[in-house]
Amino acid sequence: MTEISDIRERNPFQSCFPLPLAVPPPVVPDLEKRIPNGTQAAQYFEYALLRRFGFILDVEAAYAYPEQIDVVYSYRRSPYKYSQFVHRTGVAFAQVLDGSQGFLFMTNRLMGPERMGTTTKNKDHRSAAADEIRTKLHQLCSDSKALTSFYEEELAQLGHAPEEPPPLSI
């Protein structure tokens, strides 16, 4: 199990589809105070965008963990450079890159008929579903108006940062 950004090193016939962001995510100084506890502020908008398209977190990037925590997985050797998401249907993966670089998208070829015991018709349906997800995600990522609107919607849902209580005086 390795991250999708390294796929070309293992398979020269397969690669990821880059999905750059037309508008980089906004910088919100008090974002960590506005998001729910346990939510990571770094790449908040990118994660929200993938969740909107039905992706769930698969493997968190190494930088997301504090230095004093050594994360070890029994099924892989090296830490991931980028956080990786899988679509809830299993048909696709996406990795979150830095800044306006956006995402890497890859269709899950492991869901082919020879591995799943299904017919070619089902494989074509899954491939078409992955293509549809990629196309819609690409349309939003490359439309600066729609992307700005998405960022504004997310910020509106978060509300304002809670005010700090005044210092106690006795």
Mean pLDDT split into 10-residue runs, the chain, 170 residues: 74 85 93 83 93 94 71 66 92 91 91 52 70 97 97 87 66
* Predicted pLDDT of residue 111: 67
170 in a domain, yes or no? no
* Within a domain: 168: no
- The pLDDT value recorded for residue 114 is 47
**What residue numbers bound the domain in which 104 lies?**
4-157
Is residue 164 one of the residues assigned to a domain?
no
Average pLDDT across the chain, whole number: 82
Does some domain include residue 169?
no
Residue 40 domain flag: yes
DSSP string, the chain: ---GGGHHHH-TT--PEEE--SSPPPP-TTHHHHSPTT---TTHHHHHHHHHTTEEEEE--GGGS-TT-----TT-SS--SS-EEEETTSSEEEEE-SGGG-EEEEE-GGGSHHHHT--HHHHHHHHHHHHHHHHHHHHHHH-HHHHHHHHHHHHHHH-PPPPPPPPP--
Q: Which pLDDT value is given to residue 68?
A: 73
* Number of domains forming the structure of the chain: 1
pLDDT at 55: 98
